[in-house]
Amino acid sequence: MPLPHQLIVAGIGTEIGKTIVSATLTEALQADYWKPVQAGGLDDSDTDTVRRLVSNPHSRFHTEAYRLNQPMSPHAAAAADGVTIQLDAFRLPKTDNALVVELAGGLMVPLNDQSLNIDLVVQLGLPVVLVSRNYLGSINHTLLSVAACQSRSIPLVGLIFNGPTVPATESFILNYTQLPCLGRIGQEAQLTSHVITHYARQFA
């Protein structure tokens, strides 16, 4: 299934594999990459990780709108830094290239006292690729994430499963949501640009 020229990578929670999927899609589309909010890990950010893993020469890596010091929910990390994340401060990077945007955490993660990640998705106006990972409770988290997008008329391109495969879980999610499985990324002992290039072939 062809991927849109610009898209948002969202996850069903934290530590789901959004950054690995983002790197893979950035490689496959020879896209630019942007993470609007980085909370913690400023010395080795997700942007740094994607830059290391992507080997095509066409991608550019855009600066985050907010770089926060603490590895916390964005609203709390911003408060710890004495700033407030403003939804209207986000603007898509200007580029003629394809673009992969990676969210910080799950769709319902707060950015401030009033706004959630999903509100940022609505504002940016791009379709969503949803990353799921198999664990006890992932069906619930995946279906809730899909329902949240559908309730706000956010276009869902499909699902990417990251990590060990559990056929019973994946088949139920796909049958229930009627969303396509765009691809799978297995559990890898080490992630390198060669591994990312290998998985990128299924999306090219």
Catalytic residue among 29, 33, 35, 128: 35
Residue 172 and residue 178 in contact, taking contact as beta carbons nearer than 8 Å: no
End-to-end, the C-alpha distance of the chain in Å comes to 10
The DSSP code sequence of 151-163 is: HTT--EEEEEEES
| Cα–Cα distance for residue pair 20/196, rounded to 1 Å | 8
Q: Has 94 been annotated as catalytic?
A: no
Q: Distances in Å between the alpha carbon of 81 and those of 65, 84, 88?
A: 14, 9, 19
Active site residues: 35
